[in-house]
């Protein structure tokens, strides 16, 4: 499927049919997400994947009782990572392991450290959240390209999710992305005209 087709055929699926996506396909999707862009390649996100039916049922009340949570095949929980010290150290080690010259490694990690140091904890959390949306975009269009459906969901209680799933304190759930096979149909794709978007 061409990218333009993915964009036009993707929609926020409100109900899935309960079928399980083959694990190989889910792994393909997670690989597409792994290669999402991020500022200075810091990749400040983690994804919690839920397949257990009972866990999804437990999470549904914390998700405004939306049925996507319990009818999906896999529930992807996108978490913003605000532990910049660890992220930058890991990035430096990864670059070194991939034979990037030391001066380049030092330059990139130095820029990242300086950038992070110039922000408050709240600003770091907000920046990580913004970067996490880039990864979510790959998940949404990637799912359609692989033959299944998705739904971006911000209507949930992040604190309840963190408590129920015992998510570490430096990770904040920011968006949900249930994936599966649609049991509903795409409605008209309504968007503002280009003249109202581009100025």
What's the token pair of residue 23? Answer: 């694990």
CB 132 within 8 A of CB 78: yes
Pure H helices in 35-101: 53-59, 68-71, 84-97
Phi-psi region of 161 (alpha: psi -120 to 50; beta: other; left: phi over 0): alpha
CB 126 within 8 A of CB 84: no
Percent of the chain with pLDDT over 90: 99
Residue the block writes with tokens 């660890």:
86
The string of pLDDT tens digits covering residues 107-154 is 999 999 999 999 999 999 999 999 999 999 999 999 999 999 999 999
> Using 50, 70 and 90 to split pLDDT, how confident is the model at 1?
confident
CB 85 within 8 A of CB 191: no
The string of pLDDT tens digits covering residues 38-76 is 999 999 999 999 999 999 999 999 999 999 999 999 999
Average pLDDT, the chain: 97
Give the C-alpha separation, 131 to 194, whole Å. Answer: 25
User: Which domains does the chain possess?
Assistant: 3-37+46-82+122-181 (3.40.109.10)
Q: Classify residue 73 by its DSSP letter.
A: S
Give the C-alpha separation, 155 to 46, whole Å. Answer: 19
Give the C-alpha separation, 41 to 91, whole Å. Answer: 8
Q: At residue 90, does pLDDT exceed 90?
A: yes
pTM of the complete model: 0.95
Q: How far is CA 116 from the centre of its chain?
A: 21
């Amino acid at each position: 499927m061409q990218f333009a087709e993915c964009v036009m055929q993707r929609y926020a699926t409100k109900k899935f049919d309960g079928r399980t996506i083959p694990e190989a396909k889910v792994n393909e999707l997670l690989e597409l997400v792994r290669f999402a862009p991020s500022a200075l390649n810091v990749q400040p996100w983690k994804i919690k994947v839920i397949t257990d039916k009972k866990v999804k049922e437990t999470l549904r009340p914390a998700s405004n009782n939306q049925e996507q949570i319990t009818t999906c095949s896999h529930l992807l929980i996108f978490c913003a990572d605000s532990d910049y010290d660890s992220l930058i150290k890991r990035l430096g080690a990864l670059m070194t392991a991939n034979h990037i010259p030391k001066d380049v490694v030092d330059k990139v990690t130095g820029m990242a450290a300086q950038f992070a140091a110039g922000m408050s904890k709240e600003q770091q959390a907000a920046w990580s959240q913004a970067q996490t949306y880039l990864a979510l975009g790959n998940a949404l269009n990637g799912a359609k390209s692989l033959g299944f459906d998705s739904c971006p969901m911000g209507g949930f209680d992040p604190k309840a999710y963190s408590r129920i799933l015992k998510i570490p304190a430096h990770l904040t759930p920011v968006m949900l992305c249930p994936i599966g096979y649609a049991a509903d149909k795409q409605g008209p794709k309504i968007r503002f005209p280009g003249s109202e978007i581009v100025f």
